[in-house]
Amino acid sequence: MNSTNRTMQIVVKVSKFCNLRCRYCYEYPELGNRAAMSRAQVSAMYRTLRDHLDVVDARDGLATGLHFVWHGGEPLMQPAEFYWQTWADQREIFGERIPVRNSVQTNLVLLDDERRRLLLHGFDSVGVSLDVIGGLRVNLAGRDSQRRVTGNLDRLVADGGRVGCISVLTAQNIQAVDELFRFFEARRLHFRVLPLFDTGEPGQTTPFEIDREQELFALARLFELWLASDLMQRPPAPLDGYVEIAARYLSAAPGPEYQDRRAWLPVVLVDTDGSCYTYGEPYGDADWSIGNIFTDSVADMLSGPVFERCAVQAERRVALNCLPCPFFDACGGTLLAETESCERDEDGAGTMLCSGRPVIAYIAERLHETEL
C-alpha cells in the first residue's frame, strides 16, 4: 500500500433503513425507508473521487488516502454481498495508487455468520453504538437492545474485532457516567461520548435532553475516571483531543493551524441520494448541499456558491469564538469549525459556546496541578 500524507473521510449514508428505533435518532422519520445506494451509484462516487484525487495529488505533489465510513440507518441491513462487491470495485477503481480504508458504524443488534465475517475480515474497523444505560435504543416493539448488543460486542471482541464504541449522553444516563466508564474500561475498549443534540423534530428529544452544565460535569468526571485508571490507555473521545490541546497549551507547543476548507476539505457527508454536505453545516438541508457526488464532479462542488457559503460560515464561527480563546494556538478552531449547528449551544446573542473550551480549561488546570 502507498504511504499517504493526507486523508479524506467520506461518511456514506448508504441507507436510512434500520432495525432499531432509538428514541433520539436524528434520522427517525426515515428509519423505515428501504431506499439504498446501488452498487452502480457507489461506483460512480468512487470514480468521481478518483478523478479528483488524480488531479489534486498531481498538483500538490501529495498522496491522499480515502477513508469510507459506512453509516445509516443500520448499514449492516444491506446484504453482505453489497460490501464484498463494492470493495472489489474499490480495488478496480482506486488500484494501487489510492489507499482505501473502510469503517462501519453499527448498532450490532445482528451478528450472524455473514455479518461476523464482514466485521472481522472486511471492514478495517468497527464502531458500535451503545449507551450502556438508558433504554433509549429500542427495537420496533419498544424493547431495549442493550443486552443483546453487549453479548454481540463481547463475542466480536473475543474473536479479535477492531472495535470502538459511541455512547450518547442523555438524561437517562448522564448521572451514571461512572458505570459507563467502567463498562468500557473492563473491556479495554476505546469509546466516544456524544451529548444528545436537537434532532429538529418537535418534542422528539425533549424528555432526554441534558443542559450544558450537566454535559460539562459529565466530561470532567470522565476525565477524572481516566486519570485514575490503570487500564484505560486513552481518554474517551472527545477528551483525548482535549487532553492533547491542553498539553500543547501548557507546553506552549504550536497546534494545528486553522484549516481553510478551500485548500483542503477533510470530511464529506454523502446522503443516500448522493447529495453532499460539509461537516459543520446542516446535514440533510438541501439549501446546504454542495452538490451530488453521483452526477457532479468534485471540482464543480468545490467551486459552487454553496461550498463558498459553508467555508465562510466556518470562518465566521472561528473568528467570533476562537480568536479570543486562550487555546486557539493549541487548538486551531476545528472543534467549532467542524461541529454541526445542532450540536452547538449559543449564548442567546448569536455567539456560540464552544463546549470544548471549558473542559480544556479544566483539564489544563488538572494537568498542571498533577504535574503530568
Residues engaged in binding ligand SF4 (CB under 6 A): 321-322, 325, 327-328, 331, 333, 335-336, 354, 356-357, 360
Nearest Cα to Cα of residue 130 among 142, 112, 147:
147
Shortest approach of ligand SF4 to residue 349 CB, angstroms? 16
Shortest approach of ligand SF4 to residue 114 CB, angstroms? 42
Beta bridge partners of 7: 65
C-alpha cell at 257: 493551524
Q: Are the C-beta atoms of 325 and 186 separated by less than 8 Å?
A: no
Looking at the Cβ atoms of 110 and 367, the one nearer to ligand SF4 is 367
Nearest Cα to Cα of residue 341 among 279, 275, 259, 291:
279
Looking at the Cβ atoms of 44 and 318, the one nearer to ligand SF4 is 318
Shortest approach of ligand SF4 to residue 276 CB, angstroms? 24
CA distance 184 to 171: 20
Shortest approach of ligand SF4 to residue 250 CB, angstroms? 14
Looking at the Cβ atoms of 24 and 327, the one nearer to ligand SF4 is 327
Q: Classify residue 208 by its DSSP letter.
A: G
Looking at the Cβ atoms of 140 and 319, the one nearer to ligand SF4 is 319
Residue reference for cell 434520522: 27
CA distance 280 to 267: 10
What does each C-alpha distance from 342 to 172, 335, 339 come to in angstroms? 20, 14, 8
345 backbone dihedrals φ, ψ, rounded to 5°: -95, 155
CA distance 337 to 256: 13
Shortest approach of ligand SF4 to residue 318 CB, angstroms? 6
Looking at the Cβ atoms of 11 and 360, the one nearer to ligand SF4 is 360
Residue 166's Cβ-count burial label (10 Å; 0-12, 13-18, 19+) is middle
Shortest approach of ligand SF4 to residue 322 CB, angstroms? 3
Shortest approach of ligand SF4 to residue 354 CB, angstroms? 3
Q: How many helices (H) and strands (E) does the chain have?
A: 12, 11
Shortest approach of ligand SF4 to residue 246 CB, angstroms? 10
Q: For the chain, what is the radius of gyration of the CA atoms?
A: 21
Looking at the Cβ atoms of 77 and 325, the one nearer to ligand SF4 is 325
Would you call 60 helix, strand, or coil by DSSP? helix
Looking at the Cβ atoms of 82 and 327, the one nearer to ligand SF4 is 327
Looking at the Cβ atoms of 221 and 344, the one nearer to ligand SF4 is 344
Beta bridge partners of 191: 165
Give the chain's length. 372
